[in-house]
Structure 1
């Protein structure tokens, strides 16, 4: 009897262990069925943030094995500072949107997986991506990040104001000499002599200074504009490009025909929307906002960035941001990041992104999408940015340096003083160059570059 009971107990234990084993197997299977979760940090607020949210939601719906958690991290400067803090405790994102001027820092940081690695492993075809945009984010033929939101500066102008001033609204200024003449005709004063409409305006923004250096076909920093290796000094003070930009800027404001609304880009934009300035420089990324803000008050025209007289037209460099893969040492997360990147630059998503924002597509195939065709039909002003990009030589890539955010602040501070008549253009160039060079030297010494 004892033997029989013992046999039943042993049998029960065996059956239990079998079921327990099956239970563990099911648990493991369920665990493996869970989607790979990755964190995406971005800097898109307002309408652009809403568009990003929808794109991420659509990705998650169509990729059941991946879940992207999108998290807004504030403006570009705020986001990259948060990344620096997060990397110290290994708690950063898996993929991050970083502005163009953060490129050299991201390369030097060692925190990332170059996108070129994924491209090579998969033999991914990049031929549909815009070559000028790829060029900016590539160093020594290696693509470090995936272009995403891209823009260039263009000139917005009030076609109705042009007509009233006797100017051809279909023939906006192409050079600064033409712009000076047009600005003089467009400037209006009230009975007391106060300016009621400036002919031209431009916010004190370091990006514009950089673009006008590029427009002259000149480098901003040495070492191949920071592309053959990390730069050691600026070039704009040696090649004459910086002085040319600042002399023209000062001349326009001093003439009384150009308004100076300071560093706040919104202040300059609002002056244009209110009809208080007839021409102004700004990113194509805000085209939709400008058209909405103007409404039916007047017709908006767009034109390429003005060239300098008797100077080679070097085109423009791109602005905006790209997507970076953060090295997590987790191959599954890295694969998921790559799938997400490819989705975000697909023709369908880029056409949607461009039509809803003002950034232009990073892939040429987006122009075949009906939503993009409809967008261009509704907003023909957008074509200016596309044509300007395609007309720019591949050499107009723009500079790379790790202290770019600081350099912009230095440039803006010095221009501000110049326009307040506290500095000459010559002193402004020297002061800015000296300060930026000091920052570059300190960074290189601290990082042994």
Structure 2
């Protein structure tokens, strides 16, 4: 909890300083007067800052090596910068200058901040210049990073939530393991049948992202101004009917004793599933491989549930994207663009998908033989892609844009914790809305 509060305070400070910095970027040295960084053999050298560790970092290093060996004009140097927050802190110090990395990976809720920072060159500039065909990429991933029809960053590690469940537990409870519950009431009913002394029926990480998704799949908006996409949002909408549906859904199971509260740590809830302390739970699509590998039972993967009275809209993309720096030399920007195009090829995206579990932003990757073989062995992977591709494009599933999203997520975390302590769903939801509205007001005043 202290870590999450620290992150929220960090974000508000970053927004304030970053917006002030944007005002002075025009006074910095002209990029056309700077020397291009080159290797000893004359290649244009650029830095790629990322926040992927473990298998993600290993895959990036391999992909970068492949790009560097595929041509003789450019060399990319991938550099791990710690967490998303740590990477942004470093970028703030060099953004808009010749010392900025050519490419920076930023998580999805940083989109509005990056657009307003003055640090970046929109992807659309190079897409238009190169006549690059965006239709080859996944529409429901691109939509998040588009504002007014302009693509600002290149999607990279993209994921969505899914519902995972214990097929063996379903069989034992008399439930159909091939047909997971699809609506809130169906999940509530199944959770009651699955709950026993050592196992809860359902759980969800105490994390704002899942709440956002359960609102969006009902067609609900998170904030006004068309989810912040037609103008700066001034107030939240998540405490309306759709948000209350989500809180009532969780409250019903919590009061019935069929909900397992495993806190805010991803490892804890995943361990609870693997050790059969919970039969159904929400996770990221990027967690499917780990769940299958760690569970001593057959794992099912299903679409996230939705309120009974609405049709499923789908999911909002999560993860992160790649941003090109403004203020670096033109040749370095061209190197960054060539690397980003390489990253979107079916072969590279197939490798990324299989290495990490993240989606391929180029769906042609799913036609690669390596992917077909993996899906044949683990059909659960295909479910995650089907859910994404079945998503109905719209303002709800495009996702909200606010510069203080991490702070808002912390407000939702607090509301969920109070809900599980027995407080009224509407009361705690309204409190989260008030807190987010204050943060939005401060951010909007700072911007002006």
- Equivalences for residues 172-187 of structure 1 within 5 A: 172-187=180-195
In structure 1, the partner of 2:252 is: 251
Is 2:162 the counterpart of 1:160? Answer: no
Q: Secondary structure at the match of 1:174?
A: coil
In structure 2, the partner of 1:229 is: 231
Contact 2:136/2:363 (CA < 8 Å) preserved in 1? Answer: yes
Q: 1:253 to 1:95 in 2, by over 3 A?
A: same
Is 2:425 the counterpart of 1:428? Answer: no
Q: Which runs of 4+ in 1 moved over 6 A?
A: none
In structure 1, the partner of 2:26 is: none
| Whole-Å separation in 2 of the counterparts to 1:159 and 1:335 | 50
Query: Once the 2 structures are TM-superposed, how far is the Cα of residue 89 of structure 1 from its aligned partner?
Result: 7.1
Number of equivalent positions: 409
Q: 1:333 to 1:261 in 2, by over 3 A?
A: same
Is 2:100 the counterpart of 1:92? Answer: yes
Q: Deviations over 1:359-406 (max 9, x none)?
A: 111112112211111121122101111111111111111111111111
Stretches of structure 2 that go unaligned for 5 or more consecutive residues are 1-37
| Whole-Å separation in 2 of the counterparts to 1:264 and 1:85 | 30
Q: Deviations over 1:173-211 (max 9, x none)?
A: 01111111111111111xxxxxx1111111101100100
Q: Deviations over 1:251-299 (max 9, x none)?
A: 21221111001111211111001111111100001111111112xx110
Q: 1:81 to 1:245 in 2, by over 3 A?
A: farther
| Whole-Å separation in 2 of the counterparts to 1:330 and 1:389 | 37
Q: 1:136 aligns with which of 132, 144, 147?
A: 144
In structure 2, the partner of 1:119 is: 127
- Equivalences for residues 182-197 of structure 1 within 5 A: 182-189=190-197, 196-197=198-199
Query: Once the 2 structures are TM-superposed, how far is the Cα of residue 31 of structure 1 from its aligned partner?
Result: 7.9
- Equivalences for residues 62-77 of structure 1 within 5 A: 62-77=70-85
Q: 1:35 aligns with which of 22, 25, 43?
A: 43
Larger mean Cα displacement after TM superposition, 180-189 or 75-84: 75-84
In structure 2, the partner of 1:149 is: 157
Query: Once the 2 structures are TM-superposed, how far is the Cα of residue 88 of structure 1 from its aligned partner?
Result: 8.0
Q: Deviations over 1:146-168 (max 9, x none)?
A: 11111110011111111111111
Q: Deviations over 1:291-326 (max 9, x none)?
A: 1112xx110110000111112322111111111101
Instruction: Using structure 2 for the length normalisation, give the TM-score.
Output: 0.89
In structure 2, the partner of 1:327 is: 326
In structure 2, the partner of 1:215 is: 217
RMSD of Structure 2 on Structure 1 (CA): 1.5
**Larger CA Rg, structure 1 vs 2:** 1
In structure 2, the partner of 1:12 is: none
Q: Deviations over 1:209-256 (max 9, x none)?
A: 10011011011011110111221111112x322211112112212211
| Whole-Å separation in 1 of the counterparts to 2:97 and 2:127 | 29
| Whole-Å separation in 2 of the counterparts to 1:301 and 1:82 | 41
Is 2:281 the counterpart of 1:293? Answer: no
Q: Secondary structure at the match of 1:231?
A: coil
